[in-house]
Structure 1
Amino acid sequence: MLTIDPLISLLLIVDFQSRLMPAIDQGAAAVKNARRLIDMADLVGIPTIFTEQNAKGLGATVAELPTDKARLIHKMTFDAARAPEFLETVPADRHVVVAGCEAHVCVQQTVLGLLNARRKVYVARDALGSRRTEDKETAIRRMERHGAEIVTTEMVVFEWLETAEHPRFREAIALIK
C-alpha cells in the first residue's frame, strides 16, 4: 500500500521541548501542525508516542502538545531507536508518521534508525523544526533519499480518513481549516 494505512499507523512526536522551541525557525507553525496530527490521531484512534531528549536540560514537551493520552519515552540518545524500550513500542508492521525537532538531529537520526529497523516512515515536513532552514531542508532530503516518505499534515489527515464518508470527516476537516 502506498498510502498511510490508518489501521496500522502510529504517530511519533519527537522532542518538541520547552527550552528548545524558542530557538526553532517557524517553531509555532511546526507546533500547530504537530497538534493537528495529535488531534487527528486521537479522533481516529491512532496511538501516539512522544519522546523527550534530555528533559532535565531541554525541559518537558511544550504545553500546546498534550502528552496525557500518549506514551512518553525519555531518552539521551539522539536516535530514539537506540533508547532501550523504544523499538518495542513500534511494531514492525506500523506506518510511523513522524513530526518533531530538530529535523537534522533527533528527528533525522530517529527516522534513519526506524528505517534501519525496517519500519515504514512518513515524515510530516510541515510539522518539523530546526533552528536553521538549511538544516531542516537538508535533513528532509537525506531522510527521503534513505526511504522515508515526505508528506504534509493535510496529506496525513486525508489518508487517515480514506473517504469523505468517514464518520469523523467533518471533525477532521475542522482540524485543518
Structure 2
Amino acid sequence: MPLLSASDSTLVIIDFQARLMPAIHEGAALVAHAQKLVAAAGLLGVPVLMTEQNPAGLGGTVPELAGAGPVIAKMSFDACAEGAFLEALEGDGQIVLCGCEAHVCVGQTALSLLAHRRRVTLVQDATGSRRPESKDAALARLARHGAEIVTTEMVIFEWLRSAGHPRFREVLKLVK
C-alpha cells in the first residue's frame, strides 16, 4: 500500500549534528521540519531511530532533536553498514527517512535499505545538503531507485489518516 501507516513506520533521522548543520543549505528550516516529524511520531506512537556520523568530529545531534530516539554512532556513510542500525530496524515496516546530507549519508543509507527490500519514504523538506544541486541530484536518483519522495505534512496526515483520529487536534497544531 502506498500510504504510510503510523503503526507500521519507523522515523529514521540521519546525522542532524551540531557541527554539520551550519553548513547545510536552509539548515534551520530542515531542523524545524524534523522537529514536527518527531513530535507527530511521539503523539502517534511511531518509533524514532537516529544516527550520528563520526560524533567525535561532527558533534552530537542538534539540541532541538536530541533525545528523540536511540542514536547509532557510525563511521560509514551508509548506516546499514552498522549492524546495530539494521538490528534496530528489524521486521519489514516502512522507513520514513530524513537528514543530512542527501547525497552522502542519507542517499547511501536509502539505497542500501532499498537493496534490503525495505520501503523507503524520503521527506524532502527535512533532508538537506550543503549545496541545493547535490540535494536535487540525490532526490532524483533515489526516486529512480524506488524511494517515495514526500513532505513533512504528507507524512503527518498519512500517519493520522482521518480528522476523526483521537490525536488529530494535537497533531494539527504541529502544522499550523
Partner Cα separation in structure 1 for residue 66 and residue 76 of structure 2: 23
Q: State the Cα deviation string for residues 15-49 of structure 1 (Å, max 9, x = none).
A: 00000000001000100000000000001010000
The equivalent of 2:34 in structure 1 is: 34
User: Is there any run of 5+ residues in structure 1 with no aligned partner, and where?
Assistant: none
Root mean square deviation, CA, Å:
0.8
Native 8 Å contact 1:92 1:118 kept in 2: no
Partner Cα separation in structure 1 for residue 26 and residue 3 of structure 2: 28
Question: Residue 12 in 1 paired to residue 12 in 2?
Answer: yes
Q: Secondary structure at the match of 1:150?
A: strand
Question: Residue 76 in 1 paired to residue 98 in 2?
Answer: no
After the TM superposition, which residues 77-156 of structure 1 pair with which residues of structure 2 at under 5 Å, given as runs? 77-156=76-155
| TM-score in terms of structure 1 length | 0.97
Identity of aligned residues (%): 55
Runs of 4 or more, structure 1, over 4 Å off, are none
Partner Cα separation in structure 2 for residue 50 and residue 107 of structure 1: 12
| TM-score in terms of structure 2 length | 0.98
Partner Cα separation in structure 1 for residue 61 and residue 54 of structure 2: 11
Partner Cα separation in structure 2 for residue 16 and residue 72 of structure 1: 11
User: Is there any run of 5+ residues in structure 2 with no aligned partner, and where?
Assistant: none
Question: What amino acid is aligned across from residue 144 of structure 1 in structure 2?
Answer: A
Q: CA deviation at 1:92?
A: 3.5
Q: CA deviation at 1:91?
A: 2.4
Question: What amino acid is aligned across from residue 123 of structure 2 in structure 1?
Answer: A
Q: CA deviation at 1:156?
A: 0.2
Partner Cα separation in structure 1 for residue 113 and residue 97 of structure 2: 10
Q: Secondary structure at the match of 1:85?
A: helix
Partner Cα separation in structure 1 for residue 34 and residue 112 of structure 2: 21
